[in-house]
């Protein structure tokens, strides 16, 4: 979907799926069409019900579980560079904007996102789609963001944790043990485990699984086949990829491919 600033439009119906604590590299925007979801971030928690608009910042740790009866949603994922460009060109903001609340009520945004989904299924021009997504971002910037960038934990975390994260990111296929990381960063295993969880919000093992899913996500966007994606992103096999991918993304890799825009 290159003509839409490489943004992703997804649709989903969730009745018993619980999202574990995880992050996205992109800004994640969504409207709840029916039912509700209990959303939790490090900033706040609450139920997003029908009509609510959900806003998650890049790299913001969050989890979710369906309210009684499940929930239906339409979402849009936008790369931070797009927000940076629109913020700079329209507001003179140079830092990365930040959503101030994870759940808002905004009928204009809701209608805009639904229209964007509708347009993605028609033969409308790239110009129209780009114009509409830009208008959405401008409203988000004006109504629901702060110009102050959230601290990036990668710049504030202990050096040892930064080294550990980088090693896990660059060695997705390796069966890394806690002892391996301990030797690499020069910290006792228990101290490393505590510091990693305190800094990142998850254990090294969970972080590695999420990094593998991020890699698989990128490969799927590029049209790579499932078997190759599983190997390239460090999973034991395709069923392993499917199981972990669904736990974090809420859909299997195959469903994800069919559900995009």
For 17-70, the pLDDT digits (tens) are: 888 999 888 999 999 999 999 999 988 888 999 999 999 999 899 999 998 889
Give the H or E element holding residue 54.
Answer: strand 53-56
Using 50, 70 and 90 to split pLDDT, how confident is the model at 147? low
Q: Are 21 and 83 in contact (CB under 8 A)?
A: no
The 8-class DSSP code of residue 61 comes to -
- 97 and 39 housed in the same domain: yes
Q: Which of 146, 178, 193 is the last residue of a domain?
A: 146
Q: How large is the average pLDDT for residues 207-213?
A: 92
| CATH code, 243 | 1.10.10.60
Q: How large is the average pLDDT for residues 118-124?
A: 80
pLDDT at residue 150 in the model: 43
pTM over 0.85: no
Report how far residue 211's alpha carbon sits from residue 217's, in angstroms, rounded to the nearest whole number. Answer: 10
pLDDT at residue 256 in the model: 74
- 26 and 138 housed in the same domain: yes
- 173 and 248 housed in the same domain: yes
Average per-residue pLDDT for the chain: 86
Task: Calculate what percentage of the chain has a pLDDT beyond 90.
Answer: 39
């Amino acid at each position: 979907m290159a003509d839409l600033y490489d943004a992703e439009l997804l649709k989903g119906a969730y009745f018993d799926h619980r999202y574990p604590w995880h992050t996205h590299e992109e800004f994640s925007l969504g409207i709840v069409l029916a039912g509700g979801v209990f959303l939790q971030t490090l900033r706040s928690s609450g139920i997003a019900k029908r009509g609510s608009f959900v806003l998650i910042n890049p790299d913001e740790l969050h989890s979710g579980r369906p309210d009684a009866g499940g929930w239906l949603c339409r979402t849009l994922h936008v790369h931070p560079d797009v927000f940076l460009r629109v913020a700079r060109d329209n507001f003179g903001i140079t830092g990365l904007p930040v959503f101030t609340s994870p759940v808002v009520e905004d009928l204009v945004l809701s209608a805009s996102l639904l229209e964007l989904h509708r347009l993605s299924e028609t033969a409308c021009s790239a110009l129209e789609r780009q114009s509409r997504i830009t208008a959405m971002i401008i409203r988000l910037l004006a109504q629901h963001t702060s110009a102050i960038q959230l601290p990036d934990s990668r710049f504030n975390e202990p050096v040892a944790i930064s080294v550990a994260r980088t090693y896990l990111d660059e060695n997705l296929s390796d069966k890394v043990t806690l002892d391996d990381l301990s030797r690499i960063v020069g910290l006792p295993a228990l101290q490393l485990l505590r510091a990693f969880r305190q800094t990142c919000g998850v254990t090294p093992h969970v972080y590695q699984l999420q990094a593998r899913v991020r890699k698989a996500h990128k490969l799927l966007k590029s049209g790579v086949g499932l078997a190759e994606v599983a190997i390239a992103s460090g999973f034991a096999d395709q069923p392993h990829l499917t199981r972990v991918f669904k736990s974090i993304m809420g859909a299997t890799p195959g469903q994800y491919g069919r559900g995009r825009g």
